[in-house]
Amino acid sequence: MRIAMFTDSFFPELGGIQDSILASARELGRRGEQVLILAPQAAKGDFARAGVAVAEPDLGLNVTVRRLFALPVPSSTRQSRLVLPTLVPAGGRWRALAAFRPEVVHTQTFLGAGLEAAAAARRLEVPLVGSNHWAVSGFSLYAPVARAAAGRLAAGAVAAYYNRCAWTSAPSAAALAEMRAHGFTGAGAVLSNPIDTARFHPTPEAERRRLRAALGLSDATIVHAGRLAREKHVDVLIRALPALAATVPDAMLALAGHGSARPALEALAGELGVAGRVRFLGTLDHAALARLYQASAVVAIASTSESQGMALLQAMASGLPAVGARHGPLVEYIPPECGLLAEPGEPAAFTAALARLLSDAVMRARMGEQAARWAARFAIPAVTDMWQDVYARAASGALGTADAAGWRPSCA
């Protein structure tokens, strides 16, 4: 099958959406599907911030990447770009699409590239399927004024866009419910992003000890991976450290990722007297990130703006129990047997949960084993099976039937 994917979030920009698209495209190509990815142009600085060479990722013989003219937009990573849609059936991108002859168009965004995707599907008379990767409740965080009104307007625009699709996925029930609450009436279901369990997996304790020694980490290392941005509430984890250290003397926090909030977080750690317990590791490639997870004791996430939390699931796949904010998708993806939940925005609650796990090796091991089993259900092959089911039904016209709203892809 020939699948055209449109996205505003793509390599070398760092993030869970980008990881998801790369993993899905690579696996689809490996299975013999033809995939054309239409993504924003990237500047040399974007590759430099990611710490990678200026080259396209190796996605295999059946996957092609075509870059579209895009404009930089403000973001915590300073890598974000939006495709400037032409919406006119002319120029190189349209000729490339026509030559590719897609059977399905898959939009991974409602923004610039998403508008182009909708126009392409309409022009080529092929079905449009969508994925909403965003927690629509978080849009208000980015508005300079009238945040509540701006958030409602943005959420309504998301719903209106995905109502054009024959079928839409959301990575969590919470994300899908938010879309429904703001006017999404189309067919859709929860479909997880894929997790690379071949890379992110548990390792024997002897190897974990070796990795801790090599990385200079303690036996009570808490790991957090992701953008250092205000909506991630990493400050809550830092504020939890002083009281945690009284119970767990060797507790430390390892932060993987970059972002505009780093200077403020470094200053906060200094003010609280825990600068020596917080390691800012910057951008890590997947191999280094996997080693960091395997060396750590617990993964923690205080964000209240997640639609799923891929870094969380990568860490859980590596055998780490989780401590997360009791909010939205994190409640779904941290079941009781795999970790503990804490009240959002409350450092004392995170201190208590982290202390409980770090002080109980038996509980930590048991929950870590369960976490790895739980995350395995979201492995790349399983999720790709579901997407192939979606694409096949879309191409055959089955997703346009009256009962499509209640349909879920097989294995979901």
Q: Contact 219/329 with Cβ under 8 angstroms?
A: no
- Please tell me the predicted confidence (pLDDT) of residue 140: 52
Q: Contact 228/76 with Cβ under 8 angstroms?
A: yes
- Please tell me the predicted confidence (pLDDT) of residue 410: 47
Token pair belonging to 202: 């548990």
- Please tell me the predicted confidence (pLDDT) of residue 403: 41
State which fold the 205-376 domain adopts.
Rossmann fold (3.40.50)
Token pair belonging to 104: 């399905």
Domain boundaries, the chain: 2-195+379-406, 205-376
Query: How would CATH label the architecture of 2-195+379-406?
Result: 3-Layer(aba) Sandwich (3.40)
- Please tell me the predicted confidence (pLDDT) of residue 412: 38
pLDDT in tens, 223-277: 999 999 999 999 999 999 999 999 999 999 999 998 899 999 999 999 999 999 9
Write the DSSP symbol of residue 146: -
Q: Tens digit of pLDDT per residue, the chain (412 long)? A: 999 999 999 999 888 899 999 999 999 999 999 999 999 999 888 888 888 888 999 999 999 999 999 998 877 677 788 898 887 666 788 889 999 999 999 999 999 999 999 999 999 999 999 999 988 766 555 555 556 676 788 889 999 999 999 999 999 999 999 999 999 999 999 999 999 999 999 999 999 999 999 999 999 999 999 999 999 999 999 999 999 999 999 999 999 998 899 999 999 999 999 999 999 999 899 999 999 999 999 999 999 999 999 999 999 999 999 999 999 999 999 999 999 999 999 999 999 999 999 999 999 999 999 999 999 999 999 999 999 999 999 999 887 544 444 556 543 3
Separation of alpha carbons 336 and 379, rounded Å:
21
Neighbour count for residue 31 (Cβ, 10 Å): 14
- Please tell me the predicted confidence (pLDDT) of residue 397: 87
- Please tell me the predicted confidence (pLDDT) of residue 154: 84
- Please tell me the predicted confidence (pLDDT) of residue 400: 58
- Please tell me the predicted confidence (pLDDT) of residue 335: 96
For every residue of 243-287, DSSP letters joined together read HHHHHSTTEEEEEE---TTHHHHHHHHHHTT-GGGEEEEE---HH
Q: Contact 138/161 with Cβ under 8 angstroms?
A: no
**What does the radius of gyration of the chain's CA atoms come to, in whole angstroms?**
21
Token pair belonging to 102: 């897609």
Separation of alpha carbons 241 and 294, rounded Å:
21
- Please tell me the predicted confidence (pLDDT) of residue 411: 39
- Please tell me the predicted confidence (pLDDT) of residue 138: 62
Token pair belonging to 82: 């939006």
- Please tell me the predicted confidence (pLDDT) of residue 89: 67
Bridge partner residues of 68 (DSSP): 40
Bridge partner residues of 104 (DSSP): 3
- Please tell me the predicted confidence (pLDDT) of residue 141: 56
Residue 359 three-state SS:
coil
Cα pseudo-dihedral 108, 109, 112, 116, rounded to 10: 50
